Amino acid sequence: MLRPSLLLIAGILVHPSTYAQVIQRDIGDFSLKLGTTPSRSMAAGLVQPSTGTSFHGGLDLTHDSGLYFGQWSPSMGLTPTSELEVDSYMGYKHPFDNTLGYEVGVIQYSYPDLDVADTHAFYAGLRVLDRRFGVAFNNTPDVQNSTLFADLGGLPLLNVGFTMKVSNHQLSTPFTIGEGQEVRGFNDWSLQMSRPLGGFDLNFIYSGSDLSGANCAAYSGQNGQCDSMFMVKAEHTFF
């Protein structure tokens, strides 16, 4: 995996006067992408929650053989309320033809500023036309996570992208609430519609889980909160 310091190149090279989300260069048999938008929906968006900070970016390097690796930071830790997170990934992508292909890989989640152990997730995906379907598994000492992911691409006539995630979380140690009530596991989900408008990316996000009330004390899933929530988010890219 790449060193976390390399990821900061994305923050150094951004420029506010241009609007492209990804800069791409060919380097021999490799293709390098540097941007403020994830280059790979399967690797960068499969397990972790959607970006929730104003400062994020990453790089991606792909060989002609289909082997790829890169880093994505959903949070660069540049504000007092955020921590640096670096997601490093490596995988292999193989197309059968223009309509069908597959990929497999592994992601490492690191928090360089925190005294916590790195965690890993294994993922696999299938591409059908411009749509992607994937699964991921992440096993830590505290919880086992399984995620289903679908990126349906642009919806016809609307110029709107649509993605969804559904996850199951099984706790290694049941979470005790109140008078002996235990939470051993829970599910959560998120639906996102995205549309470019006037230099901004508009995102309409609905998320929720099957926990409620006092049981939300056990929640540690992919969403910002346990209860159902609808959020409208506008992002402006640096380059």
What is the torsional sign of CA 48, 52, 56, 60?
positive
Nearest CA-CA partner of 48 in 224, 180, 233, 228:
224
Is residue 2 over pLDDT 80?
no
Q: pTM for the complete prediction? A: 0.74
CA angle 186, 192, 195 (to 5 degrees): 170
Give mean pLDDT, residues 40-54: 54
In the prediction, which pLDDT does 226 show? 92
Q: What is the structure's pLDDT at 206? A: 94
Both structure tokens of 103: 């990929």
What pLDDT sits at residue 67? 93
Mean pLDDT over the full length of the chain: 79
Residue 49 reports pLDDT greater than 60? no
pLDDT score at 40: 61
Asked whether 195 and 202 are in contact (CB, 8 A), the reply is: yes
Overall average pLDDT of the 187-193 stretch:
92
For the chain, counts of helices (H) and of strands (E) = 2, 13
Terminal Cα-to-Cα distance of the chain (whole angstroms): 26
Task: Report the b/e string of 167-184 with b at 16+ CB within 10 A.
Answer: bebebeeebeeeeeeebe
CB 141 within 8 A of CB 130: no
Region 1-30 average pLDDT? 54
Name the DSSP letter for residue 73: E
Compute the distance between CA of residue 148 and CA of residue 22 in angstroms, rounded to an integer: 26
**CA distance linking residue 203 with residue 49, whole number of Å:** 14
Indicate whether 8 pLDDT > 50. Answer: no
Which pLDDT belongs to residue 181?
A: 85
What pLDDT does residue 22 have? 65
pLDDT at 119 (0 to 100): 85
Confidence of residue 9 (pLDDT cuts 50, 70, 90): very low
pLDDT, position 12: 38
DSSP code at position 46:
S
For a pLDDT cut of 70, what percent of the chain falls above it?
74
More confident residue, 51 or 231: 231
Of the candidates 193, 149, 182, 192, which has an alpha carbon nearest to the alpha carbon of residue 168? Answer: 149
**Cβ(186)–Cβ(209) below 8 Å:** yes
Sequence-separated (6 or more) residues with CB below 8 Å from residue 66: 92, 93, 94, 95
pLDDT above 50 (res 185): yes
pLDDT band at 38 (very low <50, low <70, confident <90, very high): low
pLDDT at 110: 86
- Read off the pLDDT of each residue in 18-45 and give the average, rounded to a whole number: 67
